[in-house]
Structure 1
Amino acid sequence: MIPLTVSELYDRAVLHGGDLVALSHGERRVTYGELGDQAARLVGAFSSLGIGHGDRVAFLMANCVEYVACEYAVANVGAVRVPLAVLLGNDDHVYMMTLARCSVVVYHRRFASRIAAMEPLLDMVEHFICVGGEDDELAPGHLGLEELLATNEPVHVSPSVDPEEIAGIYFTGGTTGRPKGVMLSHRAWFHTYWMETLDFAIAPREGFVFATPMTHAGGCLILPVLLRQGRCIVLDHFEPQLLLETIERERATATLLVPTMIYALLDLDSRDGYDYTSLRNILYGAAAIAPDRLKQALGVFGPILTQFFGQTEAPMALAALQREDHVIVDPRRELAVLTSAGRPTFATQIRLVDDDGVEVAPGQAGEVVARAPNMMSGYLDNPEATASAIRDGWLFTGDIARRDEEGYYTIVDRKKDMIVSGGFNIFPREVEDALFEHCAVKQAAVIGVPHEKWGEEVKAVVVLREGSTVSAQDLIDFVKAAKGSLMAPKSVDFVSEIPLTNLGKVDKKAIRASYWDGRSRNV
């Protein structure tokens, strides 16, 4: 199979979509034909500005229909998209745009003040394009997207782009240091979209609600939905009531959520006042979900959930727990299956290896190494990190997992989060899963903290459910009964909230800092 470029995929979607609605935001509707016209007008604008093949275009955007037209146009001129996570700070954004050598920044008007603060530090940027801003609100020298659409004629081009050329640069979360720029080719994106369509069962005429950032994982689903002549239903922010109102009004059939969003839906008192029966698929991932909350979600929404496990270096899904996997026939297998990441996705191979690269025995913990056609080309300007991550064609993910006799992979932790106490390896996620089984625990994070004799000991940081009380010793004893004394926390701290990263994951780096700062070692 010869991979198509991102531009060719958009062209194909628009050709087949015609007068169907491609995008909606509130009362606004954009057909496939209108999307193609907007992208072609932006191609004309970009060409007149000298934006073309190989240029890097940064996006600091809220969810909006214009983002899709911009992404389409960037692909059509052969440029490279560089999406920025909006919850990161200005220092990180300046670092990313400088490393990627971005010559264009497309930003939403709500981020205008941030762009103004960063602009003096971005000498390499030649054009700033604002989405949604009035002409009299634009900063000097900045261009308005609406004006570009109104004043440029459509230009239809077929860029000469090799599938191995870089289509986008996506930055990692930077939980252990500076974010790394992951270079993803057109070939990688083609296979990502193909695998998502199959493994996530994207249906014809899907009505997909985009409630997570389109500049992150959510955006990976835009083309799979459009290629099935579906509709991208855009939310510019997440609120549980807004999501349910939108599902009811639009008769939406699918969405993507992170676990904290699912928790918010489950905890919404007015949830049963909405009709969400049109939903046939809820994709979830990006962080571990508490087993009891997953069972609660299945009780509320039915067996329509699909979990994905992946990373920026191989977008979206190396493994998936399909909807049918959530229907447990054997109760003895329930916890094992529901806490797993599922099985490898279509066209993905997975092995588990030890520190020497030797494959471990079934049931033993090992690092997940994967081989898939959607793997990254490498890290931007970082050959050492690339060589460490990709060895002999295999991607070393840094995730530790076990494989059971039915081929389900259970992620036990990130390799860097593993606790070594007295020479024994302890995986925090296994302790967290045990804590989540306690009725009083709402959130939990487990880390290793300094211990003079053992090197590290297990500490749990816990948020209790409203109105619940439990002692630290009770929780310690609860885990000890379930997992044994080695796994049991030696101390428990109760907090009002647990810090999250910009991607909605528990920020272990921030939690660890308060216990390790000032130490000469970090393990």
Structure 2
Amino acid sequence: MALTDYLDKGASLGRDAPCLVAGETTLTYGDVQDLSWSVARALARSGIRAGDKVGIISSNDPIAFASVFGIARRGAIWCPINPRNEADETRQLLDLFDCTCVIYKAAYAPLVQKIAPRLPALRVLVCIDEDSTEVPSLERWIQGTGGDLDDAVAPDDVAMIVGTGGTTGLPKGVVLTGRNIETMSALTLMGYPFPGRPVYLALAPLTHAAGVLCFPVMAKGGQIVVMAKPDLTEFLALVESRRVTHTFMPPTLIYMLLQHEALESTDLSSLQCFWYGAAPMSAAKLEEALTRIGPVMAQLFGQSEAPMMISMMPPADHFNADGTIATHRLSSAGRPAPLVTVAIMDGEGTLLPGGERGEIVVRSSLVMAGYYKNPGATAEAGKFGWHHTGDIGYVDGDGFLFVVDRAKDMIITGGFNVYSAEVEQALMQHPAVQDCAVIGLPDDKWGERVTAVVQLRPGETVVPEDVMAFVKARIGSVKAPKQVEVWPDLPRSKVGKVLKTEVRATLLG
């Protein structure tokens, strides 16, 4: 399936049904289809060919997301760019991807004007919501684009190229095919509840997980309610007023939602599936969410290179057969997805038996085609015939996958391997802790000392020694932090992940 097939499938269930909704704006499936054809024709008239790369720089916006389907109809390749990136990171990504066209919101015009002269492949600029003599608005650009145009097909089935971000060095471009997105969509629809037509609330950036989740929703003819920015007060109001059935949120925002004063008074009864992912979630906070938000929490575990669905934990898997919360598996990432083979591998390429810890490796049509123009990194990620996730984990006797750490975040202290995620889970059980990050810092005695930085719930205070004792009582002295720092907030990526590289740099600085 091409990206347009999800839109066309939804439209076949009723062109007049709402597709993309934001505030007072409603685009029906027919509206989005018509706009996609106009954008495709305008791209063709502007000299954009099948296989060319088209970047979109926009906050969550229905017109911007509808334009994705015009790019796909032309056989061009969608390159989503997070608008919160720094200017140089955006320039690096657009240059790396060889983007020939950029479609952007007027709010990002200064950014585009700054970087465009340094993008040699760039030929076409279109501003979604503002017209000027230099750059046409989308409305003016698509005028007079009638006539026939057949659906074009991108070379090698490439649907999109996603930037990995530059937090660990220069960004890489993850090449995702139509087959990758089809596998992800099939897994989503077979693994999670989807009775009737879904109403999906997109709060997180459509450039990331929240965006690709739109495709399976569209295949069901569902409605996508788009939020321009992550406002939790508005989020709760929309869940109630729009009778939202599905939504996605990273753990950091869920922690904030659990603190929101309007949570208890909001009618959340329409929710069927509340996905969480993109970072590990505290088991203690997840148990609270299952009680206070409802029995609808649903985990997904993946990465840009194998989007969303390496393993899955639908709402039912959070509970035992007798209806009690399955606390013993709340820190797992669920079971490997039906169309995905997951194994645990040591550094020499040997697959390890159940229960042993090693790198999580994957085989599936979910896995990317490779990194764009980076054969060395592609070969490294595919060593021994498996895709290497860079995550350390194990599979328990019930077939549940546990992700214990990123390989690069493992701490070696006093000759012992300490997984930062395990220490973080213990810290998150402390009633005063809202969020935390655990890293290893150089230490003359231990080699590395386990160091914790905590962000507290509003109005709370702690004594560092008491926090150390709290963790020691739960996981022992070797894993307990030797140093605890209290910060008002933690540095985060554009999608809410805590940036441990920045935490480490600050503490070492």
Q: Same fold (TM over 0.5)?
A: yes
Instruction: Encode CA deviations 1:479-516: one digit per residue, 9 max, x unaligned.
Output: 11111111011111111111111121010010111244
- Count of residue correspondences: 509
**1:422 Cα offset (Å):** 2.7
**Structure 2 residue identity aligned to 1:159:** A
Post-superposition offset of 1:275 = 2.1
Deviating above 6 A after TM superposition, structure 1's stretches of 4 or more consecutive aligned residues are 330-333
Partner of 2:200: 208
Aligned with residue 377 of structure 1, among 359, 362, 369: 369
| 1:453 and 2:445 are equivalent in the alignment | yes
SS at match of 1:30: strand
Mapping 1:23-422, distance limit 5 Å: 23-133=20-130, 135=131, 138=132, 140-153=133-146, 155-161=148-154, 164-329=156-321, 334-422=326-414
CA distance in 2: counterparts of 1:219 and 1:448, whole angstroms:
34
Conserved? CA contact 2:204–2:495, under 8 Å: no
Match of 1:114, SS state, is helix
Per-residue deviation at 1:476? Answer: 1.2
Q: Do the aligned partners of 2:344 and 2:352 also contact (CA within 8 Å) in 1?
A: yes
66-75 or 329-338, larger mean C-alpha shift: 329-338
Question: Displacement of 1:336 after TM fit?
Answer: 2.7
The DSSP-based 3-state class of the residue aligned with 1:106 is: strand
Say whether 1:505 aligns with 2:497: yes
Does the aligned pair in 2 maintain the 1:204–1:229 contact within 8 Å? no
Report Cα offsets for 1:240-292 as digits up to 9, x if no partner: 11111112221111111111221222111122333222111111100111222
Tell me what 1:428 maps to: 420
Once the two structures are TM-superposed, the CA of residue 175 in structure 1 deviates from its matched residue by 2.8
Specify whether residues 487 and 190 from structure 1 end up closer, same or farther in structure 2 by C-alpha distance, changes over 3 A only. same
Q: TM-score, normalised by structure 2?
A: 0.96
CA distance in 2, matches of 1:143, 1:264: 40
Note the alpha carbon deviations across 1:145-168, whole angstroms, 9 max, x for none.
122344422644222446x43211
User: Could you tell me how far apart the structure 2 residues matched to 1:112 and 1:355 are?
Assistant: 47
Deviation track 1:196-252 (CA, whole Å, cap 9, x = no partner) reads 222233443111011111111111112211110111111111111111111222111
Secondary structure of the residue aligned to 2:274 is strand
For residues 451-472 of structure 1, the C-alpha deviation after alignment (integer angstroms, 9 at most, x for no partner) is 1233211011112223333221
Instruction: Quote the residue 1:521 is aligned against.
Output: none
Deviation at 1:19, TM superposition (A): 1.7
The 1:438/1:22 distance shift into structure 2, 3 A limit, reads: same
> 2: distance between equivalents of 1:464 and 1:24?
36
Q: Which moved more, 1:290-299 or 1:5-14?
A: 5-14
Q: CA RMSD in A?
A: 1.8
Secondary structure at the counterpart of residue 159 of structure 2: strand
Letter in 1 for 2:145: N
Higher mean C-alpha displacement, 210-219 vs 389-398: 389-398
Of residues 98-107 and 191-200 in structure 1, the stretch that sits farther from structure 2 once superposed is 191-200
Letter aligned with residue 288 of structure 2: Q
SS at match of 2:365: coil
8 Å contact 2:273–2:296 — kept in the other structure? yes
Shift of residue 400 of structure 1? 0.6
CA distance in 2, matches of 1:473, 1:335: 28
Distance 1:466 1:253, change over 3 A: same
Residue 437 of structure 2 aligns to a residue whose secondary structure is strand
| Displacement of 1:186 | 1.6
**TM-score between both structures, scaled by the size of structure 1:** 0.93
Residues of 1 paired with 2:325 and 2:260: CA distance? 30
Percent pairwise identity: 35
Aligned-residue offset at 1:184: 0.9
